[in-house]
Structures are given as C-alpha cells and as structure tokens.
Amino acid sequence: MKIASFNINGIKARIEALTSWLAGADVDVVVLQEIKSVDEGFPRDHFSDLGWNVETHGQKGFNGVAILSRLPLEDVSRGLPGDDSDEQARYIEATVMGDQAVRLAGLYLPNGNPVPGPKYDYKLAWMERLRKRAAELLDLEMPVVMLGDYNVIPEARDAAKPEKWVDDALFLPQSRAALRAIQWQGWTDAIRIREPWAQRGPFTFWDYQAGAWNRDDGIRIDHLLLSPQAADLMVETGVDRDARAGDKPSDHVPVWVRLAA
C-alpha cells in the first residue's frame, strides 16, 4: 500500500497538476492539504470517474483536507478532538481497507505566524491536542500513518538556510519541542529514517518568491509519522521532488511511504 501526502495549495488551481501526478505516481491513497474549497465545491466527480474514493473536510477559501483512495475507506472522522469551538478544517481520519487495515490521520498544522500573537498560541494549542490524539492512536496497536503538512522544520538540516528561519513560527524552539513530544511517544519519521545521516534536506517546500526553487532554497515541513506497527511494515519511502518543476505547481511536493499492507 503506497500512501502519500500532498499540500496541493488550492484544488481548483492545481487540479491538472494533481491529476497528472496521480497518473504516474502509482499511489493507493493520497491525503491532501490546503484544498481551499468547501466540501460541495470539491471536484469529487472528476476523481471518482478516475477510480478514487473521495472524502473531504473543507472550508471556503482556506485550509481544508481530503483523502483520495483506490481502496475502501471506513470509519471516517473529521476535525481534531479537544476543542469543539475550532472551526478550521485541518484534520481528517479514516481506515484504509487493504490486505491489512491502516489508520490514516491527515493533518494541516497551523502556520503560527506572526510571532508572538494569537496565531502562534493557536498553533501550540493545536499541537498539544494533536499530541493527545496521537497517543490515543498508538493505543489502537494497529498500523497508523499520521501525515501531512506539519508546518514545523524539525532540525537545522531541514532548511537550506536555517538562519533565515530562527524567528519564524515554523522553526522556533517551542514548535520543534512540540513536534518532538509527539515523535517521542514512539512515532517513526519515515522520510528522515530513509536518510538518517543526511546533512542537508531532503526538502518538501520551496517558496514561490525570490527564485527559491531554482536556488534549492527549500525546507522540510511535510512529514510522515508511523506507529510502531506501521514502521514494521515500511518497505520504502520518498519525496517526489520533480513535481515542483511541473506546470503551475504547488509550492509543496508529495511525500510517500510504501507499506507491506
């Protein structure tokens, strides 16, 4: 089972880019972030006609997450538990029914800028809610993949120019500590474990401004965290860097893991 995460940065603007990538990616499931569409506005029929099961948790103009799956989806839930007043569409869960059931938790973690301020407070509070939900997912004792745009740069080597980010919400010590608190529950960072000794990158995001892509001035903020049961099934993992060089690309690229499931 090949599972991918892709911040598409607007489904209506990137539908052709996404369709093209899907045609060659050989993925079974993809979790999307920043669809920037209400559920009714998502091009469900387009993807259904191509053989995808579609589940969405949308929001007008902002945020929004979705799951496209070749395999049946069960027990779909929307919204991160812990704050009934949170109206931002940033989280979706479902169980993928392959040879072995895999629970997916797809997320679009808040950016948090500007710092300090209410947006950063919201980011840290959201991460604490995610930590609690992550612990509950581990208690399931089944393969779980918690994936998406985390909006956190874990280490200096995850940025081409880490000095640029020292005052940014993505790289502040509190943000990185909050991510570590989740990982240290027992989650495996699939992309990092592929290249544990890499001194630079791999990157998953390049800004549209200032020629960041051409200068490879990127950061790694899209992550795949695997429960111990999922990590035991991991076959390979990767970053589809070439997607950034396509026509009308997202500023993110897909990250993926293949499980023996």
Sign for the pseudo-dihedral over CA of 24, 28, 34, 37 = positive
What number of helices (H) and strands (E) belong to the chain?
A: 6, 12
Q: In whole angstroms, what is the distance from residue 228 CA to residue 185 CA?
A: 10
Burial of 206 (0-12, 13-18, 19+ CB in 10 A): buried
Query: Which residues, other chains included, contact 136 with Cβ-Cβ below 8 Å and sequence gap of 6+?
Result: none
Catalytic residues: 108, 149
Q: 């051409």: which residue's tokens?
A: 214
The first and second tokens of residue 58, run together, are 């949308």
Q: What single-letter DSSP state applies at residue 252?
A: B
The first and second tokens of residue 3, run together, are 């599972």
Q: What is the three-class DSSP state of 198? A: coil
Segment (H or E) for 259 = strand 255-259
Q: What is the three-class DSSP state of 31? A: strand
The first and second tokens of residue 71, run together, are 């395999």
Q: What is the three-class DSSP state of 205? A: strand
